[in-house]
Amino acid sequence: MILWALLAALGLGGVITGSPTVTAPPDAASHTHAETVEESKNSERVKGISAKPAVVGTVEETIEVVMELGELNPNHYPAQRAAKVVEHYLNTQHGSPYKVFTLHRVLSASAEDVPDSGRKYQLKLSVQESVHHQTIEECLAEVLFPTGESHAPPQVQVSSCEDLLKINVTVQEENLYQQYKRNDSHLFAQNLPDSYGHMEPEHVPFWHLGIVVSSFVMLSESTQDTLYNMAQVANVSQLATEDNLLKFDYDVLLHERVSQEIFAWKMLVTWSPSDGVKVLKMEKKDYTVKNLKITLL
């Protein structure tokens, strides 16, 4: 209950039938489209359906069947979950302390089962660069969720999203890099954002970076039945390094909306404007909650 009090205090909202839902704070770079969830409320997934949507049930209770194959409703979970994977993929490829990509809208989606491979989604979507509020109006992407008992990350290909590369944050990144490269007192911050949704302005780029590095985990852990967001950077500390990269130790909390579980991950990462974000190590951790603060075990 204390954990949910923390998440509620952070302003994390949304609706999934039966239990609370966590999303990012109002100004967070990680959105989950509460309006989409509201439309999907009371929806029930039915596997293997490729016919037109139907409405079944009694007068007392009507259940909308959610398509999983063929042309998909862009606002329903199958399309949204696949599109969310594209968001994580773009962050791993192009994200930085000043460049964070979020799903804006799914424009169209379809799915097919590929024999001996898995389920493939074809998506047209719009993406927002959330730090500077720039929208890339149309991206084409393909997501394949592999079959098999052993978990394998989804395979993502983005065939068209050219405007994404036109976002120039070179000056901001270089200034941040030089500031912390020569800093004698290395960065340390906790609870980004805190239980009131607040963080110091100088910590905001490292919250953005936390969202980006979390995307590496969320991309790796995503399946057709998950919907991940980063809830909080519990801790971030800068580590000494002898090369030209900035090195950070991150503890992040991820919220999986379907199971309503919170997962804690410890990550060792490097960043520089020229080399981008590199994840050297990521490890799933246990955690406890004490006085609205997260303690990793």
The two three-digit tokens of residue 205, written as one number: 């780029």
Structure tokens at 275: 């080399």
Phi, psi of 216 (to 5 degrees): -60, -45
| pLDDT tens digits, one per residue of 141-196 | 999 999 876 778 999 999 888 788 788 999 999 999 999 998 766 899 999 999 89
Q: What is the pTM of this model?
A: 0.76
pLDDT value at residue 10? 41
Q: Report domain 2-49+61-296's class.
A: alpha beta
pLDDT band at residue 64 using 50, 70 and 90 as cut-offs: low
Mean pLDDT within 51-76:
62
Give the tens place of pLDDT for each residue, 241-292. Answer: 888 999 999 999 999 999 999 999 999 999 999 999 999 999 998 765 444 4
CA atoms of 134 and 32, how far apart (whole Å): 17
Instruction: Provide the mean pLDDT of the chain.
Output: 80
What are the φ/ψ torsions at residue 271 (nearest 5 degrees)? -155, 145
- 3-class DSSP state of 201: helix
pLDDT > 50? residue 59:
no
Q: Is the pLDDT of residue 51 over 90?
A: no
Range in 49-58, 95-104, 161-170, 230-239 the model is least confident about: 49-58
**Helix ranges restricted to H, 95-158:** none
What token pair was written down for 232?
Answer: 């909080």
The pLDDT value recorded for residue 183 is 73
50 and 69 Cβ atoms separated by less than 8 Å: yes
Paired sense of beta strands 155-160 and 287-290, if any: unpaired
Question: Does residue 6 have a pLDDT over 60?
Answer: no
Sheet bearing 118-129, strands edge to edge? 70-72, 101-114, 118-129, 134-146, 155-160
- Record the tokens describing residue 74, joined without a space: 């862009």
> What's the average model confidence in pLDDT over 37-49?
36
Q: How far apart are alpha carbons 297 and 288 in whole angstroms?
A: 7
Residue-by-residue DSSP string for 3-24? HHHHHHHTT----BTTB-----
Contact (Cβ atoms closer than 8 angstroms) between residue 103 and residue 125: yes
Query: Rounded to an integer, what distance in angstroms lies between the CA atom of residue 164 and that of residue 160?
Result: 9
- Token pair listed for 250: 């991150």
> Which of 120, 199, 124 has the alpha carbon at shortest distance from 159?
124
Question: Could you give the percent of the chain with pLDDT greater than 70?
Answer: 73
Place of tokens 């149309």: 138
Could you give the CA distance from residue 31 to residue 11 in angstroms, rounded to a whole number?
Answer: 13
